[in-house]
Amino acid sequence: YGDYNQKIDYVFKVVLIGDSAVGKTQLLARFSRNEFSVDSKATIGVEFQTKTLVIDQKTVKAQIWDTAGQERYRAVTSAYYRGAVGAMLVYDMTKRQSFDHMARWLEELRGHADKNIVIMLIGNKCDLGSLRAVPTEDAQEFAERENLFFMETSALESTNVETAFFTILTEIYRIIS
């Protein structure tokens, strides 16, 4: 993708939301740069990364936004949601509370975002299977009830990360094109 003449057909803004420490930043690092770092970031403030991919022979630039710590202060602003066509609602499958908070995050999202936004529920840290605190069925049931896509991922082991982003971006493409 080094071609600076590359024509971009679509830019899709996707926001990551969920409690602090569920792995949002690492999911983004894995997807955009194929990196993972064990040290958590200290920066505060909205940040995004982009990745260009091809869907149905069209060039799509995914602009993925990370709260970068704002959620700790419940200060995710409406600017964060503005223009978003997709959202990933992330919980840590080893932390029941982070899953129980999904309803609240969903409410906040639906209050701020476009009504056609595509939403995917993500249970991250599936590499920590022995510490699982959220059964897959619970999350599946919630996702079905709320009409969300659902996937379990590991940013650490790269499990389903590409698939999750590709699925949401393809669905956005299907709706928008």
Q: Site residues (CB under 6 A) for ligand GDP?
A: 20-26, 38, 40-41, 124-125, 127-128, 154-156
CB closest to ligand GDP, residue no = 23
Of residues 53 and 156, the one with the C-beta less far from ligand GDP: 156
Q: Are 13 and 63 in contact, with CB atoms under 8 Å apart?
A: yes
Whichever of 20 and 140 has its CB closer to ligand GDP, that residue is 20
Q: How far is the CB of 36 from ligand GDP (least distance, A)?
A: 7
User: What is the smallest separation between the CB atom of 77 and ligand GDP, expressed in angstroms?
Assistant: 17
Nearer to ligand GDP, 110 or 132 (CB): 132
Backbone angles phi, psi at 176, to 5 degrees: -85, -35
Q: Checking phi first, is residue 106 left (phi over 0); if not, alpha (psi -120 to 50) or beta?
A: alpha
- Nearest distance, CB of residue 73 and ligand GDP, angstroms: 13
DSSP 30-81: HHHHS---SSPP---S-EEEEEEEEETTEEEEEEEEE-TTGGGGT---HHHH
Would the CA dihedral through 93, 99, 105, 109 be positive or negative?
Answer: positive
38 or 79: CB nearest ligand GDP: 38
